[in-house]
Amino acid sequence: MILDDEEQAILGGALGVVAQTALGHQIAVGDFFGAKDFVPVTQAHIMADTESLGQAGVQWLERLADAQEGGVRIPTITDPRGTDFSKAGDLGQADWMLELERRAISAFERLGVSMTDTCINYQTVLAATRGEHVAFGDTGVVIYSNSVGGARSNFEGGPSALSAGLTGRTPRYGYHLDASRQATLRIRVGWTPRALDDWGALGGVIGRLAGNYWAVPVVEGLDTAPTSDELKHFGAAMASFGSTALYHLVGITPEAFTLKDVGGDRLPVAHRIGQADVAALRSGYAGEKGVDVVVFSAPQLSIYELRQLAALCKGRSFRRPLLAITSPQVKPDCDRFGYTRLIESAGGMVLSGMCFYQSYAREMGQAKGWKRLATNSAKLVNILGGYGYAPMLASMQECVDAAETGELK
């Protein structure tokens, strides 16, 4: 890679061994992906749940922090943590999990990282804007920021995102380049979802068809502009089912004012998707009627999702646990507006700063006897089968009904 004077100095150790190590890692990544040089970034977002980090990852963070060299150079924030400490006992989490979390948090704080603990930073902290180069980790954050915000990021692994925070740059490849942002797959839809679970299911269908990180779907035929929450579920599912990092919606997302703007006019329509295709995906997650637990997570809930959930919970008495998971930025408003009281009066639980599948979901299931799980998140049903659950996709209303009756109807 071509290095400028500052990068040569960092590589020579001018900013210390931590920045030197980070830049060395980034050069290796850049060489692998064929990057010619670096691009300055304005923000970094780190995925670093301790279930993935393990002891070795936390020890690596601690060694970086122990160097006491000043830490990150740009605003650097974190994805959800592995627990909500105030509710860890209710979740059946073991002491060793909490201790690992505390050590990771301490190391991050000593590195100057802001513990935002959120995968909806684009709704809560600072949305990246069109043309802004960033180094984001969480796949849902990347696809939303690229597609809806028009920002530019690849999926940055944990060490790569932290390295970007430490050096203020990232290798210029993939979705930082104009050529990679053109559409490669033209899709026409004949039905527009109205509920969050249907938007997620549509994203899952398109993600399966796209099938790889470098595919860029362009979608035409929607009859209305989705809301931020609908696009959140749509993109998170697409990224989960297809590793997709960027999509375009004709006339809606900022780089696709017209089909021609993203090269879609040169592509044949490869797939036509209707309501039956979305129903087929949903039916693949409809194996059980009985429900052990209801989870609203992945992505974390916005204040409007919590408002809707609270209204559905009013006056109910749950027979099954209901977990509503949001960010530390939204939780105080959820409390202040009375939504937490309504949800928890029915027997639910509002958790903050964690994500269900990044919080030792397998161990929680074993500790609490949870296997049959209902959710309105297509992303979550796609993931949880690998954690030993039988996940079911349903609307928010149907999920709340299931928490009350113990069955999904």
Per-residue pLDDT, 409: 87
- 43 and 14, same structural domain? yes
* 229: helix, strand or coil: helix
Average pLDDT over every residue of 260-268: 98
Print the domain residue range for 360: 287-405
- 160 and 16, same structural domain? yes
Average pLDDT of the chain is 97
Average pLDDT over every residue of 175-181: 98
- Residue range 301-353, pLDDT digits in tens: 999 999 999 999 999 999 999 999 999 999 999 999 999 999 999 999 999 99
- 128 and 21, same structural domain? yes
- 218 and 258, same structural domain? yes
Locate 344 and state its tokens.
């928890």
Average pLDDT over every residue of 274-282: 96
Q: Are 158 and 171 in contact (CB under 8 A)?
A: no
200: left (phi over 0), alpha (psi -120 to 50) or beta: alpha
d(CA 335, CA 316): 19
- 127 and 10, same structural domain? yes
Q: Of 120, 147, 171, which marks where a domain is finished? A: 171
Of 191, 189, 396, the closest CA to residue 294 belongs to: 396
Per-residue pLDDT, 287: 78
Q: Of 282, 299, 322, which marks where a domain is finished? A: 282
Per-residue pLDDT, 164: 98
299 prior amide bond cis, ω within 30? yes
Asked, for residue 314, whether it belongs to a domain, the answer is yes
Per-residue pLDDT, 300: 98
- DSSP assignment string, 98-112: HHHHHHHHHHHHHTT
Q: Of 171, 201, 225, which marks where a domain is finished? A: 171
d(CA 166, CA 59): 18
Does pLDDT of 48 surpass 90?
no
d(CA 27, CA 95): 38
- Residue range 73-132, pLDDT digits in tens: 999 999 999 999 999 999 999 999 999 999 999 999 999 999 999 999 999 999 999 999
Asked, for residue 346, whether it belongs to a domain, the answer is yes
Query: Rounded to two decimals, what is the model's pTM?
Result: 0.97
Q: Could you give the number of structural domains in the chain?
A: 3
Look at the block and give the residue holding tokens 């690992």.
100
Asked, for residue 94, whether it belongs to a domain, the answer is yes
Asked, for residue 360, whether it belongs to a domain, the answer is yes
Look at the block and give the residue holding tokens 């380049």.
177
Asked, for residue 177, whether it belongs to a domain, the answer is no
The answer for residues whose C-beta is within 8 angstroms of residue 392's C-beta and 6 or more apart is 285, 286, 287, 288, 291, 372, 373, 374, 375, 381, 408
Q: Check the CA dihedral 234-255-212-45 and report its sign.
A: negative
Of 233, 243, 247, 213, the closest CA to residue 378 belongs to: 233
- 60 and 20, same structural domain? yes
The CATH number linked to 337 is 3.30.499.10
Q: How confident is the model at residue 286 (pLDDT cuts 50, 70, 90)?
A: confident
Q: Are 245 and 319 in contact (CB under 8 A)?
A: no
- 109 and 61, same structural domain? yes
Per-residue pLDDT, 61: 96
- Between strands 248-249 and 217-220, the pairing is parallel
